[in-house]
Chains A and B, each alone.
Chain A
Amino acid sequence: MLQTLLPILIFAALAVGAVGAARRIRLWRRGQRSPMGWHRLVRMPKRYLNDLHHIVARDKAMAHTHVATAGGFVAAMALALVVHGFGWRNPILGGLLLLASLGMFVGALAVNRRRLDPPAKLSKGPWQRLSKSLLAYSVGMFLVSLPLVGVAPTTLGGGALALVLTLLVAWGLLEMIVGMGWGGPMKHAFAGSLHLAFHRRPERFDDQHGEPQSKIPHDVHRGSRSTALFPLDLAAPKLGVEKPSDFQWEQLLGFDACVQCGRCQAVCPAYAAGQPLNPKKLIQDMVVGMVGGSDARYAGSAYPGIEVGKHRGAPAEPIVPQLVEAETLWACTTCRACVEECPMMIEHVDAIVDMRRFVTLERGETPEKGAAAIDNLIATDNPGGLDNASRLDWAADLDIPRIQDRPEGVDVLLWLGDGAFDMRNQRTLRSLVKILRAGGVDFAVLGDEERDSGDVARRLGDEATFQRLAERNIATLSRYRFQRIVTADPHSFHVLGREYGAFGGHYTVRHHSTFIAELFDAGRLHVKAAEQRETVTYHDPCYLGRYNGEFAAPRQVLAALGVEFAEMERSGYRSRCCGGGGGAALSDVPGKARIPDMRMEDVRETGASTVAVACPQCTAMLEGVVEPRPQIKDLAEMVAEALIEPASDTASPTATADTREEIPA
């Protein structure tokens, strides 16, 4: 009986699953078309085994579980197709099938143990069922395959036991094969593998670079950092994403790849602060919008403060506010922690910015202070609405050379950023100038010709203002000669270095931490040992670390200063955002806690008395935490304090302003 039933079951499951898969593909095709090549499919296996595996393997136990379960299933399914489906009942293949089922069973046991008391980040519902289905399939397949190696009597194929086994296998096939096409939890395998092949940011994968970008296994960034936002065509009939069908089809495919593992939820600073954002729920809402229906069947953690089941979506219906509330979009700090953690390499931030673009550019519903900042950027080229001519007021006594006076060109163009208007950041800039002078760096500034880089406008969705600022800055920069740009602002650093390229501005940009580390390496800076030993920790800015991969230089600088260094638990690529990125400080969505307060708690846990920062936003956010708290110092300030200035240089052109003041005028 089994020998007739099994082929029917297997082929029926494959056929029904294929129908479901075809329907799923139709759903993705509702998205916007972009050129695609089927040849990209060949990249998929390597990307799965290499890039994806390394991200999953940050959680060792889960990686082993997945290797056993998924590997076991794929092997067991392929062998079952040959052995039971086509009836090639070879004992060797039968033995392999048993081994594969056994492997899958072991994996399934681990899955079930994890699901006994699932962590809060995991979704329940169908995902709880999946763990049982895995067991059913592996046990069923194992037992029905035993006769192949002659272990059990062939008379097994009769009676009640056979019926039970058939049901087990049928359950397994229903979940694994039919569910894969029809939108069950196993959908992730089908959508996920295609997503890997057709990912919108192929630069994230090792196969685009020839060799892995890092030698350290697993716990590092994979591939290159493809973090620049995609430029928006301002002549398009509709700007940004209003409806699910306005996403590119690859994005819809990516949403469908989500396994609801909740790693994004666990690292999201807005979620932790009780703001109404949960990256996992957002991606699931996008799936709801793509398929059509209500979010009532979502079985994971909700957006804090927003009840599940009240929102509906459809492919041709607006997303905001029927499906997702606007405040959910505005709570994001664009810190990319979710993207960094996502084992399926889903691009949450791209989706959020796409939706923000529509809200800002078409609806004009940017949160009040964000809108004011944009208006100021349009009118005065800086978000504070200040006179751009006052950009250098803090340096009135420093006699900083202007690039306008140096037609022959300079080595370093110092990009001040909007921190030049902020009194706290002016201390950092003064320190940086002192360091540059001590290192004998040939530098100059643009002065009042410098405009905001456009970072905040772009993250708030105002691509029009961003592009206008970018074009003007690029035009300004093209008039002067310099080797590289150095800036103390990671946001400017990111935008100038990574995002201006799409508009024709290609520059060598260094963050000041990198540049200072280079000066130390070249032996051009000399520091005295700290008088009192204090413990220092370092807060990685998102736009320096996760966005641009600079984790080493700031730590190198601290090492050169000889301070006692304590690492926070969440540091490096897992650093927690300060809460100031992506215009979140402007939209200021209320939550239960403040993100910088949580970050300061991380600092306190290290016992450090000082937290070194490298970003004006982080400085402002962390200094906003009430005292008593560890003090906040920019790397430049710490270096400038410890600097031993070359005494013989007083008469040279690189003399510091301090020494110059001693010369009677």
Chain B
Amino acid sequence: MTQPDNVTVGAAVKTVALVSSGRHPVSGRAGRAREDARAVEMGLSLSGGTLTLLHAGDADDAALPEYLGMYHGLSAGAGPGRLDLLPMAPDGDALPALAARLRQSDARLVLTGQRAECGEGSGMLPYLLAETLGWSIATGIAAIEQCDGDHVTVLQALPQGQRRRLEVALPCLLAVDGVAPAPRQSAFGPARRGITDSVATAAPAADPGWAAWQWQPARARPKRLKVVKSTNARDRFKAAAAKSAASGGQVLTDLAPDEAADRLLAYLRSEKVLAPVSDAEGADQ
């Protein structure tokens, strides 16, 4: 699928990109996170220099100048990049601080990666943030096709290169997938000129669970290789390239929202993900 031409909105829709500190897969050095950098790229091509970056964490993180270094190739009058920093210790909970800051600002479109490369990296932040703010959320975003004052049309990445077109009501939070267009180079000059505003926040409550957890480096699970004994190169290639597609299941279309919700709940109960039907009235996903 071809990428849509650059869609731009003026200052009409205030856009913010959430950035986190990335970890290089080989050296472990701090730098731009893969998905966050793509979110910034998407924001810059959508809103140009009016995009603001938001980070909760350490002011001296080496990743922050790298994001600010992406503010180039914009319209002639675009000033230096701006980053709002919410100072926070590594064990703090970023969620309340981010939510408070976004509520204060008039941001209507928030772009972020799907999962941080260090820390908990649970991938829950976009969902929890959208829930706290009461915004719509769409994840796995590959491109923004159109954005007017009320809605944004996006392409959502699905396995095996498939894309789904979604129309999302503003304000919304978009979590950008790794298949989105590659980020522009981070340049030293714009990085140096970028402005970091430290925004005082109420000292975030330390996450009580955090200290008790046991930490260990994530390790990719070994994958069982499927040996395809075929003399046909095409079959072997297909087997090697194929992602394990979900089997079973069914696709439900043309359902009313309530009916769809009932069907989902029924399915989750049958899988014993949710408690049985007796106290189902309070079940809330």
Could you tell me which A residues sit within 8 Å of B by CB distance?
A: 234, 238-239, 360-366, 371, 374-375, 378-381, 385-388, 462, 464-465
Question: Which residues of B have CB within 8 Å of A374?
Answer: 185
Question: Which residues of A have CB within 8 Å of B187?
Answer: 360-364
User: A464–B26 contact, CB under 8 A?
Assistant: no
User: B73–A363 contact, CB under 8 A?
Assistant: yes
Question: Which residues of A have CB within 8 Å of B26?
Answer: 379-380, 385-387
9 closest Cβ contacts across the A-B interface?
A364-B187, A362-B189, A364-B185, A464-B188, A379-B24, A371-B185, A380-B27, A361-B188, A364-B72
User: B185–A366 contact, CB under 8 A?
Assistant: yes
Question: Which residues of B have CB within 8 Å of A361?
Answer: 187-189
Cβ of A253 to closest chain B Cβ, rounded Å: 27
Q: Is B103 an interface residue (CB 8 A)?
A: no
Question: Which residues of A have CB within 8 Å of B164?
Answer: none
User: A239–B27 contact, CB under 8 A?
Assistant: no
- Chain B interface residue count: which class? 10 to 19
Q: B residues 1-58 with Cβ under 8 Å of A?
A: 24, 26-27, 29, 31
30 A-B pairs whose Cβ atoms sit less than 8 Å apart in the complex: A234-B192, A238-B189, A239-B188, A239-B189, A361-B187, A361-B188, A362-B187, A362-B188, A362-B189, A362-B190, A363-B187, A364-B72, A364-B73, A364-B185, A364-B186, A364-B187, A364-B190, A365-B73, A371-B185, A374-B185, A375-B31, A375-B185, A375-B186, A378-B31, A379-B24, A379-B29, A386-B26, A388-B27, A462-B188, A465-B188
Give the residue among B72, B184, B187, B190 with the most A Cβ atoms within 10 A. Answer: B187
* A366 and chain B: residue at smallest CB distance: B185
Cβ of B132 to closest chain A Cβ, rounded Å: 34
Give the residue among A361, A374, A379, A462 with the most B Cβ atoms within 10 A. Answer: A379
Q: Is B97 an interface residue (CB 8 A)?
A: no
Q: Is B69 an interface residue (CB 8 A)?
A: yes
Q: B residues 180-206 with Cβ under 8 Å of A?
A: 184-190, 192
* B30 and chain A: residue at smallest CB distance: A379
User: A364–B69 contact, CB under 8 A?
Assistant: yes
Q: Is B70 an interface residue (CB 8 A)?
A: yes
* A367 and chain B: residue at smallest CB distance: B185
Question: Which residues of A have CB within 8 Å of B73?
Answer: 363-365
Query: Apart from A239-B189, A380-B27, what are 16 other A-B pairs with CB-CB below 8 Å?
Result: A234-B188, A362-B187, A363-B73, A364-B70, A366-B185, A375-B186, A379-B24, A379-B26, A379-B27, A379-B29, A380-B26, A380-B29, A385-B26, A387-B27, A388-B27, A465-B188
Cβ of A130 to closest chain B Cβ, rounded Å: 43
User: B31–A379 contact, CB under 8 A?
Assistant: yes
Question: Which residues of A have CB within 8 Å of B72?
Answer: 362-364
* A363 and chain B: residue at smallest CB distance: B72
Question: Which residues of B have CB within 8 Å of A388?
Answer: 27
* A358 and chain B: residue at smallest CB distance: B189
Question: Which residues of B have CB within 8 Å of A465?
Answer: 188
The dominant DSSP class at the B interface is loop
The dominant DSSP class at the A interface is loop
Give the residue among B26, B188, B190, B192 with the most A Cβ atoms within 10 A. Answer: B188
* B72 and chain A: residue at smallest CB distance: A364
Cβ of B48 to closest chain A Cβ, rounded Å: 15
Question: Which residues of A have CB within 8 Å of B27?
Answer: 379-381, 387-388
Cβ of B102 to closest chain A Cβ, rounded Å: 28
- A438–B189 alpha-carbon span in the complex (Å): 50
* A462 and chain B: residue at smallest CB distance: B188
- A174–B133 alpha-carbon span in the complex (Å): 79
User: A380–B24 contact, CB under 8 A?
Assistant: yes
* A379 and chain B: residue at smallest CB distance: B24
Question: Which residues of A have CB within 8 Å of B192?
Answer: 234
Question: Which residues of A have CB within 8 Å of B188?
Answer: 234, 239, 360-362, 462, 464-465
Question: Which residues of B have CB within 8 Å of A239?
Answer: 188-189
Cβ of B35 to closest chain A Cβ, rounded Å: 16
Give the residue among A380, A381, A386 with the most B Cβ atoms within 10 A. Answer: A380
Cβ of B182 to closest chain A Cβ, rounded Å: 9
* A390 and chain B: residue at smallest CB distance: B26
Question: Which residues of B have CB within 8 Å of A238?
Answer: 189
Cβ of A317 to closest chain B Cβ, rounded Å: 13
- A243–B69 alpha-carbon span in the complex (Å): 21
- A69–B189 alpha-carbon span in the complex (Å): 50
- A364–B72 alpha-carbon span in the complex (Å): 7
- A611–B70 alpha-carbon span in the complex (Å): 45
- A386–B24 alpha-carbon span in the complex (Å): 11
Q: B residues 58-96 with Cβ under 8 Å of A?
A: 69-70, 72-73
Cβ of A467 to closest chain B Cβ, rounded Å: 10
Cβ of A517 to closest chain B Cβ, rounded Å: 38
Cβ of B49 to closest chain A Cβ, rounded Å: 14
- A362–B70 alpha-carbon span in the complex (Å): 10
Cβ of B209 to closest chain A Cβ, rounded Å: 32
Cβ of B114 to closest chain A Cβ, rounded Å: 21
- A234–B191 alpha-carbon span in the complex (Å): 12
* A372 and chain B: residue at smallest CB distance: B185
Question: Which residues of A have CB within 8 Å of B184?
Answer: 364
Cβ of A466 to closest chain B Cβ, rounded Å: 11
- A239–B190 alpha-carbon span in the complex (Å): 10
Question: Which residues of B have CB within 8 Å of A234?
Answer: 188, 192
- A365–B74 alpha-carbon span in the complex (Å): 13
- A378–B27 alpha-carbon span in the complex (Å): 10
Cβ of B207 to closest chain A Cβ, rounded Å: 29
- A386–B31 alpha-carbon span in the complex (Å): 16
- A543–B70 alpha-carbon span in the complex (Å): 33
- A52–B164 alpha-carbon span in the complex (Å): 69
- A385–B72 alpha-carbon span in the complex (Å): 25
Question: Which residues of A have CB within 8 Å of B69?
Answer: 364
- A379–B70 alpha-carbon span in the complex (Å): 17
Cβ of B138 to closest chain A Cβ, rounded Å: 29
* B62 and chain A: residue at smallest CB distance: A378
* B184 and chain A: residue at smallest CB distance: A364
Question: Which residues of B have CB within 8 Å of A387?
Answer: 26-27
* B71 and chain A: residue at smallest CB distance: A364
Cβ of B195 to closest chain A Cβ, rounded Å: 16
User: A365–B185 contact, CB under 8 A?
Assistant: yes
Cβ of A465 to closest chain B Cβ, rounded Å: 8
- A363–B73 alpha-carbon span in the complex (Å): 7
Question: Which residues of B have CB within 8 Å of A378?
Answer: 29, 31
- A361–B186 alpha-carbon span in the complex (Å): 9
Give the residue among B72, B185, B192 with the most A Cβ atoms within 10 A. Answer: B185
- A512–B192 alpha-carbon span in the complex (Å): 40
Q: Render B99-116 as a binary contact track against A, CB cut-off 8 A, 1 for contact.
A: 000000000000000000
- A465–B73 alpha-carbon span in the complex (Å): 21
Q: Render B194-235 as a binary contact track against A, CB cut-off 8 A, 1 for contact.
A: 000000000000000000000000000000000000000000
* B28 and chain A: residue at smallest CB distance: A379
Question: Which residues of A have CB within 8 Å of B24?
Answer: 379-380
Question: Which residues of A have CB within 8 Å of B190?
Answer: 362, 364
* B23 and chain A: residue at smallest CB distance: A379
Cβ of A321 to closest chain B Cβ, rounded Å: 13
* B32 and chain A: residue at smallest CB distance: A375
* B186 and chain A: residue at smallest CB distance: A364
- A379–B24 alpha-carbon span in the complex (Å): 7
* B29 and chain A: residue at smallest CB distance: A379
Cβ of B192 to closest chain A Cβ, rounded Å: 8
